């Protein structure tokens, strides 16, 4: 039980690093076959390993990393049915990999998000998937220097944070919606709802305005009212819109949840959806198919998006040193009744 | 830095317990003002405290308990919009108490639930709120002997598990729905959907059958088809129902999510909702108001239910020794269009 003699002492990674004249971190990267280390350095470390007879124990290395097989899933608001599909996509990838997700709900509040991220970090998670609260930035809500574990941003990029990201081409989605409505003869098109500081909302609204300008129409500022992503809020804000003297002849809603409320307000005002006012949503949530009229929607492929984000996170957990990646999925317009398809004559 | 003399040694809780002739645990309960300790014992401990000059340090006691101010929230399936309201109710109570919830999604799979509960227990949570997966029992899904932290069951009791519980009076809710439909002249009433082994489904269906028997009608077994709680499943299962030669003249759906799908299938079959077939849902989710026709629904007061469950859990965390409590909330029928109100003439 007394200390072993110096000669029989096991060679450590530190010995290898010193012998090769590199840092311990660099030696570790080489042993984990990271592509980040330049070839000459790699060779020096490999030589040191051979000369000292160092044995790299993968099992012990993995134990040292103490993986909990748990990831944090930070969500901006479960009231939006988009997240049911998104989370299902995430879990579908995590499950076969033996990972479990703990969800935390920020209610689109960046301060609360910062607190939740710090709390998750205290609970031994291996990585994080973040749908950032509107208004998040490098300063508020996502403390990048504090997040010392792999993480991926999903659906909403965060200004100033160069992290891995999976999202949708919001501009392309908005253009699809405008073009389809223009094709139906709509000319007074509103872009409606969504969180005030939301990056997705700003991208989509800008693309709608651009496309309308190209067709010599304007996006009336009165028709770009922000709102939280919920049916009740959509219904409430739409009331003022539809009771104006010159209401729009088409509405692109920031999300299906908002579109459901807009459709109800239109109906209550005696404005038939699909003829006098056409409605297109975003997200293509489960209930869009069943609603009356069924909702035409820009599918952002929520489940696929969640699945790809989870894959990217699992890859980062396996190889934290790989540089941030960005994956932007193409949206798809799913045509149903609310745009007027099958109703025009 | 050497040991202090015996005389100056601080009096410990163990000293108090020995002096009073009780266990350390009992002495601790008395100091925490637990109502569980009988008056004579309480007095003996209080006397010992006074005689020995013991100082009870609440701050240190709380530190010793090492609270993480995090609770686990185990949910059967986020596809059901009921949970958006439920979780909001939970968070509304947790937030001012300085608590954060980590959600885990079981997809109504008791095995997965057991795994998630074990994982949560490994992550330093102070308590758990469980909406048990259908088919959970003392043997499967909720390992009560393994759960050594305070927990509360919500909305679904678990057979054989005597834990604190907050739920709704399912039988009363079902009776309200039947009585309202009978009042509209409906005679062929179906109870539709819900998880196969779900306790709530069984309670409601039994109450519907009883009430119908009292009014000399039967609940046709063909009209009691189970289904997962989702709009797509509701729509799918309702198709067979509405295409039968003698369809029901009213449907009570196990949840609003299912009712939305049922209404769509009725519409697709050319059966007008509210006249030829009346529909009542359960849950009164946000979108019930906005749907066309708006959905009459038995409100189980999801947000209140979540809030009360969270309060009960916080109380148990503060005083884990209090015996299990049961709180059953009265549901309320929220009358809208789908039952035919405002349409009968």
Is the Cβ–Cβ distance between A215 and A182 less than 8 Å?
A: yes
Counted across chains A and B, CB pairs separated by less than 8 A come out at: 112
Structural domain contains residue B344: no
Helix axes B302-318, B82-94, angle to 10 degrees: 40
Query: Strand, helix or coil at B230?
Result: coil
Instruction: Return the pLDDT at B143.
Output: 61
- Interface pTM, i.e. ipTM: 0.77
Q: How far is CA A298 from CA A255, B76, B176, in A?
A: 9, 29, 40
d(Cα B129, Cα B112) in Å, to the nearest integer? 16
pLDDT at B24: 80
A45: CATH: 1.10.260.40
B87, B124, B231 member nearest A105 (Cβ): B87
Residue with the larger pLDDT of the pair B103 and B158: B103
Residue B289, pLDDT above cutoff 80: yes
Same domain, yes or no: B175 and B294: yes
- A48-63 average pLDDT score: 67
A195 and A47 in a common domain: no
The rounded distance, in Å, linking the Cα atoms of B239 and B227 is 13
Mean of per-residue pLDDT scores for chain B:
87
Q: Give the integer Cα–Cα distance in Å for B311 and B93.
A: 7
Q: Which domain range does residue B288 map to?
A: 170-301
Work out the minimum CA distance from B223 to partner chain A, whole angstroms. 21
Q: How confident is the model at residue B8 (pLDDT cuts 50, 70, 90)?
A: very low
Same domain, B28 and B146: no
> Measured between beta carbons, which residues in chain B are less than 8 angstroms from residue A114?
none
Say whether pLDDT at A124 is over 60.
yes
Cβ neighbours of B273 (radius 10 Å): 25
Query: How many C-alpha atoms does B38 have within 13 Å on its Cβ side?
Result: 3
Phi-psi region of B34 (alpha: psi -120 to 50; beta: other; left: phi over 0): beta
Q: Chain A: residue nearest B232 by CA?
A: A286
Confidence check: pLDDT of A101 > 80: yes
Residues B297 and B313 in one domain: no
Task: Answer whether residue A344 is part of any domain.
Answer: no
Poorest-confidence range of A17-21, A138-142, B27-31, B168-172?
Answer: A138-142
Q: Are residues B263 and B154 in the same domain?
A: no
Which H/E stretch holds residue A301? Answer: none
Least confident interval from A23-32, A199-208, B276-285: A23-32
The CATH number of the domain holding residue A312 is 3.40.50.2300
Kindly report the nearest CA distance between residue B291 and chain A, in angstroms: 7
Contact criterion met (CB < 8 Å) for A102 and B84: no
Q: What number is the average pLDDT over the span A151-155?
A: 94
Band of pLDDT at residue B339, cut at 50, 70 and 90: very high
Query: Does one domain contain both B244 and B318?
Result: no
Q: What is the mean pLDDT of residues A62-91?
A: 85
Percent of chain B with pLDDT over 90: 54
Contacts of B270 in chain A (CB under 8 A): none
User: Which residues of B are less than 8 Å from A103 in CB distance?
Assistant: 102-105
Residues of B in contact with A286 (CB under 8 A): 79, 230-232
Q: What is the mean pLDDT of residues A69-93?
A: 93
Provide the CA A76 distance to its chain's centre, in angstroms. 10
Residue from A222, A277, A233 nearest A255 by CA: A233
B292·A122 Cβ contact <8 A: no
**pLDDT tens string B241-268:** 888 888 899 999 999 999 999 999 999 9
Does A81 touch chain B if contact means CB atoms closer than 8 Å?
A: yes
pLDDT at B63 > cutoff 50:
no
Q: What's the gap in Å between the CA of B155 and the closest CA on chain A? A: 19
Number of H helices, E strands in chain B: 11, 11
Q: Does A120 share its domain with A204?
A: no
Section A10-21 average pLDDT: 84
Enumerate residues 6+ apart whose C-beta is below 8 A from B165. B152, B153, B154, B157, B324, B325, B326, B327
| CA proximity to B251, closest of B297, B301, B199 | B297
Q: Write the residue in B79, B83, B290 that is nearest to A264 by C-beta.
A: B290
Same domain, A149 and A246: no
* Interface probe with B: pick from A92, A123, A253, most Cβ of B within 10 Å: A123
CA B301, B303, B309: angle at the middle one, nearest 5?
100
Using CA atoms, how far apart are residues A330 and B297, in angstroms rounded to an integer? 38
**B95-137 residue pLDDT tens:** 999 999 999 999 989 999 988 998 888 888 999 999 999 888 8
| Pair (B192, B50) in one structural domain | no
Number of Cβ within a 10 Å radius of residue B104:
25
Q: Which of A91, A119, A235 sits opposite B70 (nearest CB)?
A: A119
Nearest neighbour of A123 by CB, restricted to B70, B232, B260? B70
Same domain, B184 and B101: no
Q: Is B229 on the interface with A (CB under 8 A)?
A: no
How many domains is chain B partitioned into structurally? Answer: 3
DSSP A322: S
CA angle A291, A297, A299 (to 5 degrees): 120
Distance of CA A105 to the CA centre of its chain: 14
- Mutate which: A131, A287, A306, vs B, most B CBs within 10 A: A287
């Amino acid at each position: 039980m007394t200390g072993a003699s110096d000669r029989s002492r096991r060679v450590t990674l530190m010995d290898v690093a010193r012998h090769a004249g590199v840092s311990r971190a660099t030696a570790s990267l080489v042993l984990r076959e990271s592509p980040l280390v330049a070839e000459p350095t790699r060779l020096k470390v490999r030589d040191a390993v051979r000369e000292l007879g160092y044995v790299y124990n993968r099992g012990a290395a993995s134990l040292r990393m103490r993986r909990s097989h748990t990831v944090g899933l930070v969500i901006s608001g479960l009231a939006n049915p988009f997240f049911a599909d998104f989370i299902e996509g995430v879990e579908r990838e995590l499950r076969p990999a033996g990972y479990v997700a703990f969800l935390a709900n920020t209610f689109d509040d960046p301060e609360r998000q910062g607190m939740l991220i710090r709390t998750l970090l205290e609970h031994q998670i291996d990585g994080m998937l973040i749908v950032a609260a509107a208004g998040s930035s490098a300063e508020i809500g996502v403390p990048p220097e504090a997040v010392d574990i792999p993480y991926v941003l999903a659906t909403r990029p965060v200004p100033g944070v160069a992290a891995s990201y999976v999202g949708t081409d919001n501009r392309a989605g908005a253009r699809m919606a405008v073009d389809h409505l223009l094709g139906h003869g709509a000319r007074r098109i509103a872009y409606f709802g969504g969180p005030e500081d939301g990056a997705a909302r700003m991208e989509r609204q800008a693309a709608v305005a651009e496309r309308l300008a190209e067709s010599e129409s304007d996006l009336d500022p009165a028709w770009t009212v922000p709102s939280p992503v919920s049916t009740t809020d959509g219904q409430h804000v739409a009331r003022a819109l539809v009771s104006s003297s010159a209401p729009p002849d088409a509405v692109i809603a920031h999300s299906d949840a908002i579109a459901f409320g807009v459709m109800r307000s239109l109906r209550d005002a005696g404005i038939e959806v699909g003829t006098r006012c056409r409605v297109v949503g975003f997200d293509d949530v489960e209930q869009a198919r069943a609603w009356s009229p069924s909702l035409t929607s820009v599918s952002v492929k929520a489940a696929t998006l969640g699945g790809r984000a989870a894959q990217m996170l699992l890859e980062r957990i396996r190889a934290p040193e790989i540089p941030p990646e960005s994956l932007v999925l193409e949206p798809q317009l799913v045509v149903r009744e609310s745009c007027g398809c099958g109703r025009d004559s």
